[in-house]
Structure 1
Amino acid sequence: MAKIRLDDLTKTYKGKPAIEKISMEIEDGELMALVGHSGCGKTTMLRLISGLIQPDKGSIWIDGLDVTKTKAEKRDVVMVFQENLLFPHLTVAENIAFGMRMQRSPVRKRMEKTRELLDLMQLPDLEKRYPSQLSGGQQQRVALARVLALDPKVLLLDEPLSNLDPKLRDDLRDLILKLHKDFKMTTILVTHDRDEAMMMADRIAVMYYGKLLQMDKPINIYNKPVSREVASLFGQCNFIPGLLNDGVFQTEGYRFRVPALKRGGRVEACVRSEHIKVVRPENDRPMGVITEKKYVGGQSIIKVAVGNLIFIARGSNYFDLEIGNQVGLDIDWALVSFNGLKNQA
């Protein structure tokens, strides 16, 4: 397997940086997810690591070797694209064996490996079909099998699930996790789906306009976002401006004791929608009026106007509430971050 290290990696297009001075380490056998909006540089990162393009500055290290100028075919790195790019004139078996044939592997080895991967990918009796005769999920399984046949050190996945319907997506996600566990292969997954990143990755790297904002375990990305941009990518967040002094947060005339927090000054609190409970109005908590209500998958999303602020709360017990009702808000301040930093003593 392989450890990957990127040092001050920079790539520009037409004078504008696609990625800028990115440094990170991906551990041997780790599954890292790259997350960010379209155009933030995620796919450029994969193409640089794979050797399909060259950086303008910086270096790429795999297994302790500087591969920055090494040709793609010599890096032992494979990439699965959003479009599976199967050869339409080759059968499933021929597609899977293509890379091995280019490497001049013995025929018997190619046949054994192809059969093994057909079974592993749950593609029984499909070896003689052509890509046009397969479903989208089956095509993507063949694309995965084709790169795994090369026994690479590093697997790069560029949104391989984005074109599939939800059920196929779930099935293939489970398969990728199983393959990752079985092969213990260093894997980098590009995805727009925050839930996919949370469920699959050992760590998540959040990119924003070509820069790396935060790289951490999923639970820390969610609960300890370093910026508004990171917080917004991973679920609904209420951003509340206020003043923090001696462990008391003050906003819109309300004062809240904040656990174990001593720093002070003007801050912005990030309150997740699920960390707010809509309760009976009482004087010791924010009170407001419901302005909007939506039903989503067994839960209600409630908007509450409190003075000049709008709070969004999510829960499963709000079905009897109606627009115009006066309610109170109970906020779990132990789970709130300020200025993008988790509460610290």
Structure 2
Amino acid sequence: MSKVKLINLVKKFDNKKILNNINLKIEEGELVSLLGPSGCGKSTTLKLIAGLIKADGGDILFNDESVLNVDTQKRGAVIVFQDYLLFPHMNVYDNIDFGLKIMKEKKEIRKEKVNNLISLVKLEGMENKYPSELSGGQKQRVAIARALAVKPKILLLDEPFSNLDIILRDEMREFVLEIQKKLNITTILVTHDKEEALMMSDKVAIMLDGEIKQFDSPKALYTNPSCIEVADFFGERNYIRGTVKENILTSDIGEFKVNCEDTDKISVMISPKNIAIYSNSDYKFNDSNKITGKIIKKRYGGDRTYYTVRAISYEFKITSPNDSYNVDDEVNICIDFNNSVYYTI
């Protein structure tokens, strides 16, 4: 196991900064996700950690020691790519054994390690099969076993589930989590899938435009994003702008009691799930807390329904377990300001 520290890490391609002073600290045994859209620098960061490409500035520390001048093969960081990159002419056993052969391990030791790994990744009976005979999930298990065979200090996963169907993806997520926790290996996962990062990670780093915007626990990231950019990355949000004085938010849609310090310019971020929707007949709140509007869009999503409600100059995005309202219905909405996030602008 190793802890990883990135200090002011910079990478340029064709004189364009791809990574801009990345700072990150990952503790031993943690699973950390680098989450962001395509082109934000996630995979580049992973390749720098592995030593596949050279940094243009900053430092990379494993257990407080710089590895910038350590060869890729000696760093102890191994990448599993989304395309598996298995050797097509080798069977399962030989693919897993490959790294151990390169390390010149004795045959008896290699055999024991490979067999243990085959058992670990639940591929018993498939030792003699070739990659062309395997499913996507089985190929991914072989790739993970091959990576683990050389006993890496750090396991790097570059969008490993993106080529799998939904059911198999969920299965492989659980499988990787089980392996990671069992071995207690420091793991860095690159993904653009928000749900995947939130479900799998001890911590998540949000990367946007070559910078880390927030590094936090999954719950903190989702419920208390540090800036509007991070909030918007997690999907549709609602914003009300106004001023706050003596815990009263004054906006062009009304006045509301909030728990916020006085400020002349504020933007209140409200998650769609924190807006309740009611018909006139079953409205339960005081009139001073009521906003009246009309439903202009509705999308059914199984266990929840997605509404857009127009109220004065705003179009509120709302998710509700109640599917009983329809487009053009007049409704009342109530915002949970206690679970909203406030940004000074």
Please give the TM-score of this superposition, normalised by the length of structure 2. Answer: 0.96
Deviation readout 1:171-215 (Å, 9 max, x if unpaired): 110111111111111110011111111111011000110011000
- Provide the residue aligned with 2:254 in structure 1: 254
Deviation readout 1:38-87 (Å, 9 max, x if unpaired): 10000010000000011101011001211012111110110101110000
Q: CA deviation at 1:340?
A: 7.9
Question: Could you tell which deviates more after superposition, 91-100 or 243-252?
Answer: 243-252
Distance 1:243 1:200 in 2: 39
- Provide the residue aligned with 1:331 in structure 2: 335
- Provide the residue aligned with 2:273 in structure 1: 274
- Provide the residue aligned with 2:202 in structure 1: 202
Q: 2:316 aligns with which of 311, 320, 338?
A: 311
Q: CA deviation at 1:299?
A: 1.2
Distance 2:148 2:248 in 1: 55
Letter in 1 for 2:137: G
Q: Which runs of 5+ in 1 are unaligned?
A: none
- SS at structure 2 position matched to 1:172: helix
Letter in 2 for 1:94: D
Percent identity over the alignment is 38
Distance 1:103 1:192 in 2: 34
Q: CA deviation at 1:31?
A: 0.7
Aligned counterparts, 1:1-345, within 5 A: 1-259=1-259, 261-281=260-280, 283-284=287-288, 285-317=290-322, 319-339=323-343
Q: CA deviation at 1:253?
A: 3.4
Cα pair 2:4 2:63 within 8 Å, conserved: yes
Deviation readout 1:262-292 (Å, 9 max, x if unpaired): 2312111111111111013474211110000
Cα pair 1:226 1:340 within 8 Å, conserved: no
In the superposition, relative to structure 1, how do residues 202 and 340 fare at CA in structure 2: closer, same or farther (>3 Å)?
farther
Distance 1:247 1:73 in 2: 59
Distance 2:138 2:264 in 1: 56
Cα pair 2:253 2:312 within 8 Å, conserved: no
Consecutive aligned runs of 4 or more in structure 1 exceeding 6 Å deviation: none
Cα pair 1:227 1:340 within 8 Å, conserved: no
Aligned length: 339
Letter in 2 for 1:322: N
Distance 2:222 2:262 in 1: 22
Please give the TM-score of this superposition, normalised by the length of structure 1. Answer: 0.96
Distance 2:16 2:222 in 1: 30
